[in-house]
Structure 1
Amino acid sequence: MGLTTWNYGEDFASLGIGHFIWHPYSSKRASFNSGFPHLLRYIEARGINIPSWLQGRNGLYCPWSNRNEFLKEQYSSKMSELRIFLQKTIPIQAEYMTRHLQEILPDLLASAPAEERVFIYQKFYSLARTPTGIYALVDYLNFKGAGVSNSRYNYERGTGLLQVLKGMKYAPPGSTPLQAYVWSAKNALIKRVERASASQHTERWLGGWFKRLNTYLEGNIDT
């Protein structure tokens, strides 16, 4: 059931090979960082049939409002239909992920200081040359956005993809590109928690966030 997951400690479902985020309507973040609806529109534009309950505005929000509801429906007809749809569209999901990256790189470079652009470019392609690295780039972009103000993937500046790539320079010596990337992402998210007010209790999300990042190192591109 790796194509349809809802990790403990998260307030959204993660779908497909790119772990595309799908927020329920009740989520405060539903309007700005659900990646799954963008994937659906891309698939529709390619003339591929999608389940009727995912068409148009129906696909904007996850119909299950929380993780417990989602897990209870794992063997329902709707969930089975969703899983079959995701399985059949794996090739186009991969195509979408690749285009996703191609579109965002110019924004990343344009938003970075001139003296850092070569470093960011090199780190980006040190990851993008492997399937696992592509997954890590796309998944984090879907997860926390680009980190640049002129992108529709700008969810949280300070923890976005741009900041993670920049932060790779501070990773422990001897780290592989993927290890440095995960280290930088975790560091950015820790700082995000430290900046938040105590009333937000953002530390409760760290476990789920780190579990997501660890899949990059495990190479679980289909779970």
Structure 2
Amino acid sequence: RGAGGAMAESPRVKRRREDGEAEREAAETQPRDGAAAAAPFPLAELRLRRVLREAARGKAVFLHGEVTGPSGDGTDAVVILEKTPFQEEKISDLLKKHTKLELQISNDIYSTYHLYPPPELSEIKTTVVYPATEKHLQKYLRQEVHLIRETWEDYKNITLPFIQSQSFSIQWVYNILEKKAEAERIIHENPDPCNGFILVPDLKWNQNQV
């Protein structure tokens, strides 16, 4: 692949970079298949196979699971669990509404507790890719990152064919355009045959927090 090498970085910088990448990938995942959206994901039937990646800074974890069907065959799934940000309008309920406070450490005026809020105030955003392919599993698996110098010929003959071979289906885009999925989420539609478009909120925004 021509001249190349890896750029060294400190463990702290590396950890922050990897966590940042994990946060972005969790936000960018778009499980928008119209057919799959009709039936809820069978979470209770999911068997955890392995943890693909953790993002401590982003409070997210990427899981590889398997759902066993009636025939006994297993189907792979990627499940991303992500702690949601605090919502200001719910802070009062969080502090008062059947919340359990368990002391961990106390020293002079300082103390640390574990706070256990009720289920409706302890939401975890869950993103599911199901059924998942080997490409999805590899995408979310923690991997070493290297900086490589490449020529135009390297890109054309090596990198570009690899990117094209690893590309994911964009059927979810056509589902929106054909209104097979997320039709109720459409904010604006321009039917112009040349410059028309459909505007839909991104799934990484809960439409409440600004």
Shorter-chain TM-score range: under 0.3
More helix by share: 1
More strand by share: 2
- Computing the radius of gyration from Cα coordinates, the structure with the larger value is 2
Q: State the TM-score, normalized to the length of structure 1.
A: 0.26
Q: State the TM-score, normalized to the length of structure 2.
A: 0.27
